[in-house]
Amino acid sequence: MLCGRGKQYNQWDSGQLRSLTFEIRNPPMSIHLQREIERLKKHLLSLCAIVEEQVATAIRALVERDEPLAREVERRDAEIDQREIEVEEDCLKMLALYQPVAIDLRLIVAALKINNDLERIGDLAVNIAHKAAAFAAEPPLEIPFDIAGMWAKTQAMLRDSLDALVNMDARLAQSVCARDDEVDRMKHEIRVALEEMIRHEPAQASPLLRLLAVSRNLERIADCATNIAEDVIYMVEGKIVRHHEREMVP
């Protein structure tokens, strides 16, 4: 590549230069990282499916007064704990091995937080199952509010937050955050109604307080879904929106 008085010139044609540019921008390690990230997303979706099923099962155990079904939710919690540990280890391994930057780094950091929120939802499902088992052991009492409807809204938030993660959809994540107020209102209305019932029927205080605890756990699951959505917004846009909910577009 030396010519004349020691001047350098490039003997590569344009095709070779383009090939070199691609290799620089997409080194093999970057390709491996993208594969690991796709695998991480699948693991998070799998964990989400399990915790969603856990909550749905706990709610069904409550509505149907099925104590054995509630105990099944409690037994399966160990699987969620183990999966949460595996996902965390995968994230830490990627951080150490690939030293990601920019959106890849934000995604892995967000995945660590989302993983923790999903495990928390699993714990809340167990809390609901505890209340369902105790509720089933007491004299029959009609549930005086739409527990299934509250769960349906919370479940939709959870699903959309994970869809936003997979599709890198910040607008969908923002809509999840906006819906959190609706679940909060439902929980407040349920609390007011149950407190009134307890004043008029103090003998029913024990089962009614269990139902109040269930509504509180559902509201906390909605909060976890909101946390996940906020992490997606951070991942996609690099913005921390935890304390600026009012500024987000529904």
pLDDT of residue 27: 54
Question: What Å distances lie between residue 193 and 111, 143, 152, CA to CA?
Answer: 38, 12, 20
Amino acid present at 195: E
Structure tokens that stand for 114 in this block: 């989302």
Q: Encode pLDDT of 97-154 as tens digits.
A: 999 988 899 999 999 999 999 999 999 999 999 999 999 998 888 888 888 889 999 9
Output phi, psi for 3, to 5 deg: -145, 140
Angle at 116 between CA 244 and CA 108, to 5 degrees: 80
Are 84 and 47 within 8 A, CB to CB? Answer: yes
* Residue whose structure tokens are 């769960």: 151
Q: Encode pLDDT of 231-241 as tens digits.
A: 999 888 888 88
Closest CA to 91 of 75, 102, 103, 105: 105
Topology (CATH level 3) of domain 30-247: Methane Monooxygenase Hydroxylase; Chain G, domain 1 (1.20.58)
